Amino acid sequence: MFSAKLRAAAFGAIVIAAFPALATAAVYGKAGQPASFDVTLRINADCAISANGLDFGQRQGVLSSTVSATANISVTCSNTTPYNIGLDAGNGPGSSGTTRYMRGTGANTETVRFNLFQAPGGTPWGATQGTDTLAGTGNGAAQNLTVYGEIPAQNTPTPDSYKSTITATVYF
């Protein structure tokens, strides 16, 4: 009779003879081979901007005193990216630079003068970089900025809804 060791060796020889690939794996196999690969990303200087409307009210009467309101602009720029926010003159007739007008929305062509500021009663907010835009530096998160609007006392035009569309632009 064969001993247990001899039987195991004989069985192993039969298996290796029947499946030669197992012999190679048993003799030459390794626990693992490392492989490296790079994971990359490039962040470019970039900004996104959004704004909500500025509403001076829907029940205004005589414009005998200043009417004030605020709106918000949200700007998100990549970290350390310098930016400037500019506000154009709007599309009211006679608007130019930081002089702005709203126009009647019906057949009425009358206007209402209004101003936009970077701070209450402060610097008029325009679109000329380095002159009347608002500068900042991105931090990778949304930064909220306030637009301060003001309608100065003036002759009151015909009752109507008045409107101007302002475009906010982020320069970076």
| Terminal C-alpha separation, the chain | 90
Number of domains in the chain: 1
CB hemisphere CA count around 128 (13 angstroms): 7
CATH of the domain at 124: 2.60.40.1090
Q: How far is CA 127 from CA 9, 55, 93, 164, in A?
A: 89, 21, 18, 16
For tokens 């709007």, name the residue.
90
List the domain range (segments joined by +) for residue 86. 47-171
Q: Which amino acid is at 158?
A: T
Q: Is residue 14 part of a domain?
A: no
Q: Is residue 147 part of a domain?
A: yes
Give the per-residue pLDDT at 8. 45
Is 66:150 a contact under the CB 8 Å cutoff? yes
Is 93:109 a contact under the CB 8 Å cutoff? yes
Q: Is residue 7 part of a domain?
A: no
Q: Is residue 55 part of a domain?
A: yes
Give the per-residue pLDDT at 121. 87
Name residues whose C-beta falls within 8 Å of residue 18's C-beta, 6 or more positions apart in sequence. Answer: none
Q: Is residue 6 part of a domain?
A: no
Q: Is residue 32 part of a domain?
A: no
Give the per-residue pLDDT at 31. 82
Q: Is residue 1 part of a domain?
A: no
Give the per-residue pLDDT at 28. 60
Give the per-residue pLDDT at 15. 47
Q: Is residue 13 part of a domain?
A: no
One digit per residue, the tens of pLDDT, for the chain of length 172 reads: 545 554 444 444 444 555 555 555 555 667 899 999 999 999 999 999 999 999 999 999 999 999 999 999 999 999 999 999 999 999 999 999 999 999 999 889 999 999 999 999 899 999 999 999 999 999 999 999 999 999 999 999 999 999 999 999 999 9
Q: Find, among 123, 147, 137, the residue nearest to 83 by Cα.
A: 137
Tokens linked to 156: 């009151």
Give the per-residue pLDDT at 55. 97
